[in-house]
Amino acid sequence: MDFLNKNTIKLDKELNELDKFVLDFVKILEKHVDYVIISGYVSLLFGRARGTEDIDIFIKEIDEKDFIRLFQDLEKKYWCLNSDDVSEIYDYLKDGFPIRIAIQDQTIPNFEIKLAKTLLDKEAFKDSIKVKTKLGEMKISSLERQIAFKRYYLKSDKDLEDARHIERLFKESIDHNKLEGYRRLIENAKS
């Protein structure tokens, strides 16, 4: 694993089925809308050994017509666990609720997709990192954001261990001022 620059990581690991699942999905997603992968999957991508049922993704605002095109593209291989009515699915997103998308006839693993609505959500796009693998690329939120969100917002044992894993792995690359800035953003958002 190498930083090619401050916004790009080259990952040479042998990709597992979950990684391939994510890469396949984001190839479709990125044709229609900007996205960023957040939360637990990021630590798994970088070698943390634990299971997960979902991959959390923020997408930028999208109008209904463009969302329908995205959904029609996804329906060739995936289905929505929330509903089969595309207008209803879009309304879920617009109303601030996540939607879940999985491979047809399966429920796990799935993608939990949310519109980035709050300042904190939108920040994930500003300093996202491109991860280049042998089979394609994906965008994740910054390492500092991952650590801060896990440590100061979610705080479960699993999340704290995810944060420690990322911090140990990237200890030379972590910007502690940026990490502190995210901590303050999170604390302000909670109050």
Query: pLDDT in tens for each of the 191 residues of the chain?
Result: 888 888 999 999 999 999 999 999 999 999 999 999 999 999 999 999 998 999 999 999 999 999 999 999 999 999 999 999 999 999 999 999 999 999 999 999 999 999 999 988 998 999 999 999 999 999 999 999 999 999 999 999 999 999 999 999 999 999 999 999 999 989 988 77
CA distance 88 to 86: 5
**Model pTM?**
0.95
Domain positions in the chain are 2-142
CB 47 within 8 A of CB 169: yes
30, containing H or E segment: none
pLDDT of residue 12: 94
Residue 154, CB half-sphere, CA atoms under 13 Å: how many? 18
Q: What confidence score (pLDDT) does residue 93 get?
A: 97
Q: Name the CATH topology of 2-142.
A: Beta Polymerase; domain 2 (3.30.460)
Q: What is the 3-state secondary structure (H, E, C) of 109-173?
A: CEEEEEECCCHHHHHHHHCCEEEEECCEEEEECCHHHHHHHHHHHHCCHHHHHHHHHHHHHCCCC
pLDDT of residue 1: 82
Helix count (H) and strand count (E) of the chain? 8, 9
